[in-house]
């Protein structure tokens, strides 16, 4: 079937799906979770073959995926997320009756991510938040795990039938870059969700801006996730920090958006000792297979490109890399100085995989300069004692401006699915720092506010009716009430 | 001073201004309002000379401007607008302490609008909402009312000194398109507010997308604001509707974004009679001077271009237009059929000024088609009785998808400054339908969510501290509390 047909079907399905009651949408999401669990064994086996990820990780990711479905079901059943605002008619000063709420924008295109075959793919966070909002979804399967994607789509399709949702509420497309371009350019597409490379996100954004009617592309792209190791923290708990960060750098073969790729500290014995401890801890981790040969190739090329830069030195010996295309890769650590980092913009770039660059800065001023040169980030982390925190307020203040999430004394990997989460950040971490792709606020990407003026009660959506039949929190005449 | 210097100053001022306590920011906004009132007479006289707008309108607009300042002062004093969300640490299932709130993005560039010398210009809605958010502002004065703008900037500058705000919290720039381009392209600029033409908004958006780091441009551009006159409403109250819309079409010489430029109904006697009544009512209104000769020229050209289209007929005689460059213009009404409208895309375009096109549709199906061909709108209005509403649910459903604001039985001109207002809409009405430029939600254009993970209470912003010192509404562990 052509992409034109698919998008037309998505638009027709939207006309019906947007009218489905929130409680039924919630039940639909829970039914998808159930259908995923029914297929769990097969999903894990298939994804294991396609992605080289171990069973434990894949099972954990399925748990995360079904949890997301349940969380969004709760969100829309509770209902306050629509941000209902009511300004009632009044005589003095005269004002019309004006009410607004968030409504879904229309069909959404979701691009599956290579590094999360479940949680950011076919039934992942983008799809689930869009379905919760009342948008229909066309998923473009990631080519690296097509069979997994198809199996997940089967779970969704079964849930559509069991829940009596409109046909084509979710559709599944395979194909390459040209299919992606067509999906973004189609007039019926109203928004795009993407998790992947900077090049990929920029390409989709460029297509979107070429449309007669531009649409938002929510692309979550690259990040080096800088971590600053403060002096006293390094003095007092270098061993613990080394273990924490060895685990974080190598987690999932380093294939996480929040992988800590840039580790900063002040030059000197404490930082040197941390470097040695970190290297020792990392050397103990077993080499892991990467997701696919393309990513493995890009990682080796990226890492070697970094190691070829002036004043960048490998820590330890370069791990031997087997020649087989799908052989495991060992993590690598490199080191440089603050002045070298400032002089060479290439060192700011991300190497996607198990790699980190340690940067020893001459002093606090240089460390501040280094932080100022990094680009927009998903996360910015602070490893510090109470003394560090009171001694370095200016560095901490700067760190809070770099990213969507600022983390104190924990590794950036591990993104909680919750209401407060911001998995987003200034460009080029994402295309739009005002939104998150993880957590319940992810639903806001697929809606826009619509204002109803002078409508009689019976013609208003339930969320805006006088007697508040859905029992949601609303801002009525500037007071929050329920 | 160069634009580079100005933007650097704005960035330095931002570092300090963003730390100003909300209560002090609120007092600052109220002080601006006071300084505007002190200069009221001079402002009205100057703007009257520069814009041809009558004193009563200008005084009303000053009231709106000072009201906006007070409303945003209340908003930030109350404080809940920051959308604080707190997910506290817990043991089972394990979760870190994660908290988020909205923080200002950085220096904002505001382009003054020609048609609102006060309410959408130097101290208008964009500036005020940005200052309320904690952003610093560089205003680019609209060249058509430069003296008014400078006088308004004097009011703001005095308030900055009296309120002890950082120098350069607001700066004022004059110049042409090149200055505008430089302002948008400057690396320190983080967002742009604009109200004006489609061409202007598209140009600024194009600059923003060429930047190394793209930024959002919130451009409120064109709209024809379709109004559907339903059968029974036309039968029962054509006279009242004609008077309401004669006033709305000619208000401010038609120079409003929400001017009703497209009036739709079913062909037949009732619509003809309405047309006659509307024309008679409009003929009674006095010709008005337009804002400046450029707008006057564009209006006459746009109107004559419409009248030159096939199957578009002028209603009545073409009002005589004096040849003087600043002579008043009389409003014009034109009529066409639904089939002609469908056949000619030019008829969907906006004519900025006192002009409206009546479209007589053969039947409901054709009217639906006409509505489907109009582009994104700021408003979509419905003139209907209860019977109309129950007979035409499909048309009403379609109308609610076209615009940011859907209005029942009132003219679209007159945009309430309140919490529920959406003055925005799908492209090309604005560049971003998810935001509004009028009402308290306008503040969201200048902020992004930032998440703090694992922070001790004393290092958190007040809005996120455990004991809620600001007493704001927060979502804590998924419950709204205060």
- pLDDT value for B321: 65
A405–B459 C-beta distance less than 8 A: no
Which residues of B carry out catalysis?
220, 257
- Within the 283-342 window of chain A, which residues sit less than 8 Å (CB to CB) from chain B? none
A478–B419 C-beta distance less than 8 A: yes
- In whole angstroms, give the CA distance from residue A155 to residue A120: 16
- In whole angstroms, give the CA distance from residue B463 to residue B104: 14
- In whole angstroms, give the CA distance from residue A365 to residue A266: 10
Cis peptide before A428 (omega within 30 of 0): yes
- In whole angstroms, give the CA distance from residue B196 to residue B437: 12
Chain B residues whose beta carbon lies within 8 Å of the beta carbon of residue A436: 449
- In whole angstroms, give the CA distance from residue A140 to residue A444: 21
User: Which among A419, A433, A451 is the nearest to B448, CB-wise?
Assistant: A433
Shortest Cα distance, chain B CAs vs residue A85, angstroms:
5
Strands of B137-140's sheet, edge to edge?
B170-173, B137-140, B108-111, B191-195, B217-220
Contact between A124 and A155 under an 8 Å Cβ cutoff? The reply is no
User: Which among A448, A451, A482 is the nearest to B420, CB-wise?
Assistant: A451
User: Which among B418, B422, B448 is the nearest to A95, CB-wise?
Assistant: B418
- In whole angstroms, give the CA distance from residue A402 to residue A372: 8
User: Which among B87, B409, B422 is the nearest to A420, CB-wise?
Assistant: B87
Chain B residues whose beta carbon lies within 8 Å of the beta carbon of residue A421: 87, 98, 100, 451
pLDDT-above-70 percentage for chain B: 99
What is the torsion angle, in degrees rounded to the nearest 10, for the CA atoms of residue A458, residue A459, residue A463 and residue A465? -40
Query: Please, what is the Cα angle at B415 between B411 and B421, to 5 degrees?
Result: 115
CB pairs under 8 A between A and B: 174
- pLDDT value for B408: 97
- pLDDT value for A134: 98
This prediction has a pTM of 0.96
User: Among B237, B225, B242, which Cα is nearest to B282's?
Assistant: B242
Q: Is B211 on the interface with A (CB under 8 A)?
A: no
Catalytic annotation present for A451:
no
Q: Is A70 on the interface with B (CB under 8 A)?
A: no
Contact between B105 and B447 under an 8 Å Cβ cutoff? The reply is yes
- pLDDT value for A222: 85
pLDDT of B421 higher than 70: yes
- In whole angstroms, give the CA distance from residue A71 to residue A77: 10
A456–B448 C-beta distance less than 8 A: no
B80–A420 C-beta distance less than 8 A: no
- Within the 414-443 window of chain A, which residues sit less than 8 Å (CB to CB) from chain B? 416, 418-422, 424, 426-428, 431-434, 436, 441
Q: Is B199 on the interface with A (CB under 8 A)?
A: no
- pLDDT value for A321: 65
Residue A452 makes CB contacts below 8 A (sequence gap 6+) with A98, A99, A100, A460, A461, A464, B400, B405, B406, B408
For residue A305 the two structure tokens come to 């490109």
Find the residue in B nearest to A456 (Cα).
B408
- pLDDT value for B324: 84
Find the residue in A nearest to B448 (Cα).
A434
Chain B residues whose beta carbon lies within 8 Å of the beta carbon of residue A451: 404-406, 420-422
Shortest Cα distance, chain B CAs vs residue A54, angstroms:
22
Strands of A191-195's sheet, edge to edge?
A170-173, A137-140, A108-111, A191-195, A217-220
What is the torsion angle, in degrees rounded to the nearest 10, for the CA atoms of residue A155, residue A161, residue A166 and residue A170? 10
- pLDDT value for A419: 96
- In whole angstroms, give the CA distance from residue B175 to residue B34: 28
User: Among A99, A84, A108, which Cα is nearest to A18's?
Assistant: A108
- In whole angstroms, give the CA distance from residue A279 to residue A334: 10
Q: What is the mean pLDDT of residues B192-219?
A: 95
- Within the 72-131 window of chain B, which residues sit less than 8 Å (CB to CB) from chain A? 74, 78, 80, 85-87, 95-96, 98-100, 105
From the list A257, A350, A361, A463, the catalytic residue is: A257
pLDDT tens by residue, B371-396: 999 999 999 999 999 999 999 999 98
- In whole angstroms, give the CA distance from residue A7 to residue A19: 19
From the list A35, A220, A366, A463, the catalytic residue is: A220
Containing H/E element for B248? helix B231-250
pLDDT tens by residue, B305-353: 999 999 999 998 777 667 788 899 989 999 999 999 999 999 999 999 9
Catalytic annotation present for A257:
yes
Q: What is the mean pLDDT of residues B209-224?
A: 94
- pLDDT value for B202: 94
User: Among B354, B118, B117, which Cα is nearest to B247's?
Assistant: B354
Shortest Cα distance, chain B CAs vs residue A327, angstroms:
35
- Within the 145-174 window of chain A, which residues sit less than 8 Å (CB to CB) from chain B? none
Shortest Cα distance, chain A CAs vs residue B122, angstroms:
26
Q: Is A372 on the interface with B (CB under 8 A)?
A: no
User: Which among B100, B400, B454 is the nearest to A408, CB-wise?
Assistant: B454
Indicate which of B420, B425, B472, B482 best probes the interface with A, i.e. most A CBs within 10 Å of its own CB: B420
Band (B409; pLDDT cuts 50, 70, 90): very high
- In whole angstroms, give the CA distance from residue B188 to residue B79: 27
User: Which among B85, B396, B410 is the nearest to A419, CB-wise?
Assistant: B85
Tens of each residue's pLDDT in chain A, 482 residues? 899 999 999 999 999 999 999 999 999 999 999 999 999 999 999 999 999 999 999 999 999 999 999 999 999 999 999 999 999 998 888 889 999 999 999 999 999 999 999 999 999 999 999 999 999 999 999 999 999 999 999 999 999 999 999 999 999 999 999 999 999 999 999 999 999 999 999 999 999 989 999 999 999 998 999 999 999 999 999 999 999 999 999 999 999 999 999 999 999 999 999 999 999 999 999 899 999 999 999 999 999 999 999 999 999 877 666 778 889 998 999 999 999 999 999 999 999 999 999 999 999 999 999 999 999 999 999 999 999 999 999 988 899 899 999 999 999 998 999 999 999 999 999 999 999 999 999 999 999 999 999 999 999 999 999 999 999 999 999 999 99
- In whole angstroms, give the CA distance from residue A224 to residue A262: 6
pLDDT tens by residue, B257-283: 999 999 999 999 999 999 999 999 999
A450–B422 C-beta distance less than 8 A: yes
Q: Is A469 on the interface with B (CB under 8 A)?
A: no
Containing H/E element for B113? none
- In whole angstroms, give the CA distance from residue B83 to residue B235: 48
B213–A375 C-beta distance less than 8 A: yes
**Phi-psi bin for B243: left (phi > 0), alpha (psi -120 to 50), beta?**
alpha
Q: C-alpha distances in angstroms, A429 versus A94, A203, B377?
A: 46, 15, 32
The number of beta carbons lying within 10 Å of the beta carbon of residue A83 is 18
Shortest Cα distance, chain B CAs vs residue A298, angstroms:
24
Q: Is A138 on the interface with B (CB under 8 A)?
A: no
- In whole angstroms, give the CA distance from residue B202 to residue B190: 17
- pLDDT value for A7: 98
- pLDDT value for A354: 95
- In whole angstroms, give the CA distance from residue A282 to residue A288: 12
What ipTM was estimated for this complex?
Answer: 0.96
Find the residue in A nearest to B84 (Cα).
A420
Give SS3 for A392: coil
pLDDT tens by residue, B8-43: 999 999 999 999 999 999 999 999 999 999 999 999
- pLDDT value for B351: 95
- In whole angstroms, give the CA distance from residue B229 to residue B246: 14
Supply the mean pLDDT for chain B.
96
Q: How far is CA B414 from the centre of its chain?
A: 11
pLDDT tens by residue, B92-136: 888 899 999 999 999 999 999 999 999 999 999 999 999 999 999
Q: Is B372 on the interface with A (CB under 8 A)?
A: no
For residue A322 the two structure tokens come to 């087997």
User: Among A412, A54, A416, which Cα is nearest to A253's?
Assistant: A54
Q: Is A214 on the interface with B (CB under 8 A)?
A: yes
């Amino acid at each position: 079937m052509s992409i034109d047909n698919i998008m037309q079907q998505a638009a027709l399905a939207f006309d019906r799906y947007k009218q489905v009651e929130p409680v039924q949408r919630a039940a639909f999401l829970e039914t998808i979770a159930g259908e995923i669990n029914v297929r769990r064994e097969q999903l894990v086996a298939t994804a294991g073959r396609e992605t080289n990820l171990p069973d434990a990780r894949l099972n954990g990711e399925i748990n995360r995926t079904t949890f997301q479905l349940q969380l969004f079901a709760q969100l829309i059943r509770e209902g306050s997320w629509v941000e209902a605002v009511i300004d009632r008619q009044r005589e003095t000063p005269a004002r019309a009756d004006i009410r607004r709420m968030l409504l879904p924008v229309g069909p959404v295109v979701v691009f599956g991510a290579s590094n999360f075959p479940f949680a950011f793919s076919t039934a992942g966070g983008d799809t689930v938040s869009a379905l919760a909002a009342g948008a229909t979804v066309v998923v473009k399967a990631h080519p690296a795990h097509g069979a997994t994607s198809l199996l997940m789509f089967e779970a969704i399709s079964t849930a559509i039938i069991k829940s009596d949702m409109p046909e084509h509420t979710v559709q599944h497309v395979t194909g390459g870059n040209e299919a992606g371009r067509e999906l973004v350019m189609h007039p019926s597409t109203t928004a795009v969700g993407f998790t992947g490379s900077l090049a990929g996100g920029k390409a989709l954004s460029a297509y979107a801006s070429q449309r007669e009617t531009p649409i938002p592309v929510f692309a979550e792209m690259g990040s080096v996730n800088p971590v600053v190791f403060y002096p006293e923290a390094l003095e007092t708990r270098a061993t613990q920090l080394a273990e924490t960060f060895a685990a974080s750098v190598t987690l999932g073969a380093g294939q996480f958006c929040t992988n800590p790729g840039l580790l900063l500290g002040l030059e000197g014995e404490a930082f040197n000792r941390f470097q040695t401890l970190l290297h020792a801890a990392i050397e103990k981790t077993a080499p892991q297979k990467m997701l696919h040969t393309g990513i493995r190739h890009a990682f080796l090329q990226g890492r070697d490109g970094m190691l070829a830069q002036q004043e960048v030195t490998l820590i330890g010996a370069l791990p031997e890399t087997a020649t087989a295309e799908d052989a495991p890769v060992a993590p690598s650590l490199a080191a440089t100085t603050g002045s070298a980092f400032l002089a060479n913009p290439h060192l700011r770039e991300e190497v996607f995989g198990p790699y980190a660059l340690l940067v020893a800065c001459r002093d606090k001023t240089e460390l501040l300069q280094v932080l100022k040169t990094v680009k927009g980030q998903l996360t910015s982390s602070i490893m510090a004692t109470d003394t560090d925190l009171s001694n370095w307020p200016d560095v901490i203040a700067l760190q809070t401006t770099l990213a969507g999430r600022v983390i104190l004394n924990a590794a950036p990997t591990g993104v909680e699915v919750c209401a407060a989460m911001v998995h987003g950040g200034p460009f080029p971490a994402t295309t739009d720092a005002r939104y998150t792709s993880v957590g319940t606020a992810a639903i806001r990407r697929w809606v826009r506010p619509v204002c109803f003026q002078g409508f009689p009660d019976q013609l208003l959506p339930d969320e805006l009716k006088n007697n508040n039949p859905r029992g949601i929190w609303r801002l009525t005449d500037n007071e929050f009430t329920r």
